[in-house]
Amino acid sequence: MQPDSHALIVIDVQRDFCPGGALAVPEGDAVVPGINALMDGFATVVLTQDWHPADHASFASRHPGRAPMEMTEMPYGPQVLWPDHCVQGSPGAAFHPELRTDPAQLIIRKGFRRSVDSYSAFFENDRSTPTGLEGYLRTRGVERVTLVGLATDFCVNYSALDAAGLGFTVTVREEFCRAIDHEGSLTAARDAMRAAGVTLG
C-alpha cells in the first residue's frame, strides 16, 4: 500500500477513447485490468472524465471545411481539431464498463466549457483556469502522484507536466497508458515529461 501522500490519477478511461469509440486510442481498453488492480494500492484515487458540450469549439464539426486532427488557432493558442467525442451524457463519455469506479473518491470532469479544451487534469488549455484538482490533493496531504490512462501523448502528458510544475513528484506508468501517437506526438511527449522531471515507469 502506498503512503497516504501518494495518489493515483486515472486519466480519461472512457468508451470514446477505447476501440470502437469516436476517438479510439489503439489498445485503449488494454489498460483497464492493470489499472483496476493498481487502485487497491492507493488510499487516494482520482478519475478524470472528458465532458464536452455537443458544440464544443475543439470539434472539427464546428469548423466548416476542416478535418479532425488538423490544427487551428484558438484565443489561447494552437488547438487540435478532434472528432466529436465524450459529449456530456452520451454513451461515449461514460467510463469503460469494466473500469472500477468505486475506489475513486473524486471524479474531475474537464472540457465542459465550450470555448476552451482541457487536456490536463489540473488546468484547461488556456493554462490558467484550474480544475480544482490541485486544491483537493493538497488538502488530502498528497505530495506524489502516479498517472495512468489515455492518452499518453495528450491528456496524460499535459497532466504530468502540470503536476510537476505544481511541485508534485510525478510518475507515469506507461504500461497502463496508451497513445494516439500522431506525427511524432508520443516521442515529443516523452521528451517533455522527462525534461520536466517526470519519471516514466
Listing DSSP states for 13-57 in one string gives -BGGGSTTSTTPPTTGGGGHHHHHHHHTT-SEEEEEEE-B-TT-T
Catalytic residue among 12, 29, 84, 117: 12
Identified catalytic residue from 18, 50, 110, 162: 110
Task: Give catalytic status of residue 110 as yes or no.
Answer: yes
Catalytic (active site) residue 50: no
Out of 16, 50, 86, 155, the active site residue is 155
Q: Is 12 a catalytic residue?
A: yes
Catalytic residues: 12, 110, 155
